[in-house]
Amino acid sequence: MEQEQTSPAVQKRVQDSFDLQGLMSHLGARITHIGPGRVHIVLPARPEVTQQHGYIHAGATSAIADSAGGYAALTLFDEESEVLTVEYKINLLAPAAGHHLEAIGTVLKPGRTLTVCQLEVYGVQADGAKVLVANGRQSLIRVDRPAE
């Protein structure tokens, strides 16, 4: 199934912003899809992001979910706008195991001020099989881009 892509300008703006995030870089996460109101972020499984039982840590799982939702919202905002998370709730449904995690942020309700996103995180096996390991909701606020 082919996924809709955003314009090259929106893709660049989202990727450039993502590249400035120290935490995403530190975790080893990367964006794999930028569509209108939808962003996918992949986090490879490696020892540095695990907890004591060998599963990917809930903090890493939550962080990529939060960023996927935030960037999904940003795809719908004008270039003078930025986004900040107001709140999010995540349900951890299964141990975060697999070759990598894939977080998908999807805008449910865009708004001039507040935007609501659905968050999903899948554990993906080497053969491509997926298990939903977390889901949640997020509220984001549109803010003016700071002057440079």
Q: What CA–CA distance (Å, rounded) separates 92 from 135?
A: 7
Judge whether 105 and 71 are in contact, CB under 8 Å.
Answer: yes
Per-residue pLDDT of the chain (148 residues; tens, 9 = 90+): 567 888 999 999 999 999 999 999 999 999 999 999 999 999 999 999 999 999 999 999 999 999 999 999 999 999 999 999 999 999 999 999 999 999 999 999 999 999 999 999 999 999 999 999 999 999 999 999 887 7
Cβ within 8 Å of residue 1, ≥6 positions away: none
Domain extent listing, the chain: 8-144
Task: Output the pTM of the full model.
Answer: 0.95
Q: What CA–CA distance (Å, rounded) separates 104 from 69?
A: 7
What DSSP string runs through 55-82? SBPHHHHHHHHHHHHHHHHHTTS-TTEE
CATH of 8-144, picked from 3.60.20.10, 3.10.129.10, 3.40.50.1970, 3.20.20.390, is 3.10.129.10
Judge whether 124 and 95 are in contact, CB under 8 Å.
Answer: no
Tokens of 94: 């299964």
How many angstroms from the chain centroid is the CA of residue 70?
Answer: 7
